Amino acid sequence: MSHPHEQSAATAVTVLGLGPMGRALAGTFLDSGLRTTVWNRTPGRDRELVERGAVGARSAAEAVGASALTVVCVVNYDAADAVLRQDAVTAALKGRTVVNLTADTPDRARDSAAWAAGHGIRYLDGAIMTPNTTVGTPDAVFIHSGPEDLYREHRPVLDALGGSHTHLGEEIGRAAAYDVALLDIFWTAMAGYAHAVALAAAEGVTVRELAPFAQGIAAILPPVFAQSAADMESGGFSGEGNPLTSAVSSMAHVVQASEAHGIDAGVMRAAEGVARRTVGLGHGADGFIRVAEVLGRR
C-alpha cells in the first residue's frame, strides 16, 4: 500500500541535487504539472523552487520516499553515492526507480547499477548532453541506458523535460560511454579554441576578429565526422586530399608559432606526437582518423 504522501510515477518526481542543471530539471518538471519534491545537500537552494510550488524535503530519505521516481543530478558519482548509499535513503528507495543523470565514467554507472540491484532499487543511467538553458526546450538532448521496460515506464515523466530522449541499450554503461566520448570532443575542442585565442592575441588578432573564422572551422567538422565514421567502418582510412603527413606538418606550425611567443603548446604537441607515431607505423598516406585505430590497438 502506498504511503498517503507518495505519488505515482505518472504524477510525481523527486529531484536530488539543485545545482544549475538540477534546478533546471526540477523547474521544468514543475512547469509540466508534476508534483515535484526537491532536496539539496546545501540548504537554501530550493527556495525559489518551493516558492514556485515544489515540495522542499527535510532530508534525502524523505525526498525519495515522496515519489516513485527519483532523478539524481549532482557533480559526480562520489556525490551521488554519498546521498543514495546512506542507510535511510537506500531503505526508502527499495522498490522505487532512480534515474541517475549525473555525469561520470561507464564503470561507475555499472557499479551503481550493481548496488541498486542488490538493494531492490530499479535503476536507469543517463546523461544530459546540452547546457542547462536547453532543458525544457526542443534543443535539449538526453541519453539513457538500462532496462528498456523500465525506460518505457518512466518515459512519460522524462518527456516533460523536452528535447530528444534516446535509449541507447540495456547495458547500463552505454549512456556514460557516449557521454565521456562526446565530452572528449567538446573539451578538447574548447581547449583548442582557448589556445587559438591566446595564439592569435599574441599575433595581434583579437578574439572578436577571429570568432567568425573559428565558426567556419567548426562548420567543416560535421561532414568530416561523417566521412571519418565511414572510413572507420570500411577500414579505408582514405587520406586523399589531406594525408597524415600533411596534418603533422601543419600541427608543427602551430607548435612553433606558439612556443615562439612562450605559449604552452602541450595539447598540440600531444596531438602531433600521436600523429607522428601513426605515420611511423606506415600510415602517412592515410587520413587523420587512422589515429583512432592506432590509439585503440591493444
What CATH number has the domain bearing residue 227? 1.10.1040.10
Mean pLDDT of 51-60: 97
Please tell me the total count of domains within the chain.
Answer: 2
Residues 166 and 260 in one domain: no
Beta-sheet strand order (sheet of 55-56)? 55-56, 35-39, 12-16, 69-72, 97-100, 122-128, 141-145, 164-167
- Name the pTM for this structure: 0.92
Q: Taking each helix axis from N to C terminus, what angle separates 174-202 and 266-278, rounded to the nearest 10 degrees?
A: 110
Place of cell 518551493: 50
C-alpha closest to that of 97 among 161, 16, 168 = 16
**Does 178 reside within a domain?**
no
Residues 119 and 231 in one domain: no
pLDDT above 50 (res 4): no
Query: Hey, what amino acid is at 118?
Result: G
pLDDT above 90 (res 29): yes
Q: Where are the beta strands (DSSP E) in the chain?
A: 12-16, 35-39, 55-56, 69-72, 97-100, 122-128, 141-145, 164-167
Which neighbouring-strand residues pair with 142?
A: 128, 165
Residues 107 and 229 in one domain: no
Note down the domain range covering 26: 12-170
**Does 115 reside within a domain?**
yes
Output the pLDDT for position 8: 52
**Does 119 reside within a domain?**
yes
**For the segment 220-257, what is each residue's pLDDT rounded down to a tens digit?**
999 999 999 999 999 889 888 899 999 999 999 999 99
Output the pLDDT for position 1: 38
Residues 134 and 215 in one domain: no
**For the segment 276-297, what is each residue's pLDDT rounded down to a tens digit?**
999 999 999 999 999 999 999 9
Task: Please classify residue 19 by burial: count the beta carbons closer than 10 Å to its beta carbon, then call 0-12 exposed, 13-18 middle and 19+ buried.
Answer: middle
Dist CA 237 CA 126 (whole Å): 32
Q: Residues 6 or more apart from 264 whose CB is under 8 A from it?
A: 258
Output the pLDDT for position 273: 98
